[in-house]
Amino acid sequence: MIKKCLFPVAGYGTRFLPATKAMPKEILPILDKPLVQYAVEEAHEAGLSDLGFVTGRGKRALEDHFDVSYELEHQIQGSGKEKQLEGIRKLIDECTFSYTRQIEMKGLGHAILTGRTLVGDEPFGVVLADDLCFGEGVGVLAQMAKLYNQFRCSIVAIEEVPKDETNKYGVIAGEALTDNIFRVTDMVEKPDPKDAPSNMAIIGRYILTPDIFDIIENTEPGKNGEVQITDALLQQAKEGCVIAYKFSGKRFDCGSVKGFVEATNFCYEEFYLKNEPSATVVPIKKTK
């Protein structure tokens, strides 16, 4: 059973300036819930309760969010508003939260390596809160945790993207094991559409085996001068096995304004208008 999950949240969120000047991007809410809470709920639903955050300067609000707020809670005690804090209280009660800082933003691979002290020597999940996922029937990370039990190697979640958008993602090539499971044979970070090995893009959900840390340590900075997790994963795929999994559900790139607005509209229709609390799991779509 995987118990640990890493949340790299050190990035500057420059696409959301000025909103992110003094506030972490991951605190931006979709409806009434911050992105980071959706991310933690998804991990919790997958049975991962030992949660580590790789933070940076100006991210204190994240730590405060996963702590009790005595004054506020005393203030609203006995009122109907208490209900609105039930979800976050459950997470605080049932998970442990640890933090470490990435001093320099040297890329996602480097952020994950920074989290090594929080993870130790066991397989772990990685969730990028700015990719907001709604799993069909089961959350996306829970779908991946199940797959890990079968393959026992690193797993990346993938999604087909328009060919002209491959330059925003890590893109894989793979040998199909089933309709939605691939054994990775190649991986390229942000390729030009003409050089992309496919249109299957890696999104912000990973399950990694701990040998990835040594591999990252030996990975030179790649695209944009950053230490890329994609490069380390390719190495791992060459030495052993990495699985790419086309998940069931929907993903919104909430690191971009467009994706953020689309996610808001989705939640408004899927949850708010139905008077339901927003969640990371949606009902399975019936196919005709």
139 binds ligand UTP per the rule CB under 6 A: no
Report the alpha-carbon distance of residue 138 to residue 281 in Å, rounded: 6
**Using CB under 6 A, which of 47, 92, 106, 167 touches ligand UTP?**
106
Cβ-contact 187, 172 below 8 angstroms: yes
CA 149, 203, 56, 28 torsion: positive or negative? negative
| x-or-dash string of contact with ligand UTP, 25-44, rule CB under 6 A | x-------------------
Rounded CA gap, 57 and 220, in Å? 25
From candidates 5, 111, 172, 184, binder to ligand UTP by CB under 6 A: 111
Interface positions, 151-170, toward ligand UTP (CB under 6 A): none
* Window of 5-13, 44-52, 57-65, 280-288 that interacts with ligand UTP by CB under 6 A: 5-13
CA of 261: how far to CAs of 240, 265, 267, in Å? Answer: 40, 6, 10
Within the chain, strands assigned E span 4-8, 29-30, 33-34, 50-55, 96-101, 124-127, 131-136, 154-160, 170-176, 181-189, 200-208, 242-246, 249-253, 281-282
Q: Is residue 174 a contact residue for ligand UTP (CB under 6 A)? A: no
The smaller minimum CB distance to ligand UTP, of residues 10 and 282, is found at: 10
Taking the complex as a whole, how short is the minimal distance between the CB of residue 63 and ligand UTP, in angstroms? 15
Q: State the nearest-atom distance from the C-beta of 30 to ligand UTP, in Å.
A: 15
Binding site for ligand UTP (CB under 6 A): 8-15, 25, 54, 102, 105-108, 110-111, 128-130, 255
